[in-house]
Amino acid sequence: MKFFIDTAETNVIRELAETGLVDGVTTNPSLVAKLGRPFGEVIAEICEITPGPVSAEVVATDYDTMLAEGRKLAAIAGNVAVKVPLTWDGLRACRALSDEGTAVNVTLCFSANQALLAAKAGATFISPFIGRLDDIHIDGMELIEEIRAIYDNYFYDTQILAASIRGPNHVRLSALAGADVATLPPDVLKGLANHPLTDKGLTAFLADAHKAGVTV
């Protein structure tokens, strides 16, 4: 499973990228707006930090303007994946951009039918928002499983990018359900390494080593 970081904080991306555990980055206008910097400048910096896909989202809602914005974003760097919403105009823009060789992340997916349309439109990634489904008492994992079954049935290459992940359990379940990618807030990615028994065991090992005078 690939791990993307869901943030626009370049210092955080740089820190986590140095671990070798990060395969890409997802952003959105809300995340970039918090920085108070020009959108294109932030995307360009992130693309320099990581060679993996960097999702940069259009802000238009109509086909023609989405296509123009998508082309502008794609021109920033070769690893930009243009993010478009799962609307009819977004699907049209996805088809056009994909035909031009641009990677496209179709976002705000909440049903298997939507995911099927995105795959047919040539999406590189489909982003089902599992946390938001859980918020309204719908099983987000069931959606991941349905999309996985459909894509496998018809050999679609579109990668399932589990989004709106709220904690480590979402990551585990997404991996079990067959998601190709999980995009994680930085604190969730760091939290995957945590377990109380690991801490307890390490404390015991270090105490024994100290008593025995073990050095390396």
Q: Is 211 a catalytic residue?
A: no
Instruction: With beta carbons less than 8 A apart as the criterion, state whether 139 and 172 touch.
Output: no
What tokens does 7 get? 């943030």
Task: Tell me which of 2, 34, 72, 83 is the catalytic residue.
Answer: 83
Question: Which contiguous run of DSSP H or E holds residue 199?
Answer: helix 196-212
Alpha helices by DSSP H, 3-155: 10-17, 29-33, 39-49, 63-74, 88-99, 112-120, 130-135, 140-154
Cα distances (Å, whole numbers) of residue 206 to 51, 138, 157, 197, 216:
38, 45, 48, 14, 12
Q: Please report how the helices 140-154 and 168-177 are oriented relative to each other, as an axis angle in degrees rounded to 10.
A: 30
The 8-class DSSP code of residue 163 comes to B
Active site residues: 83
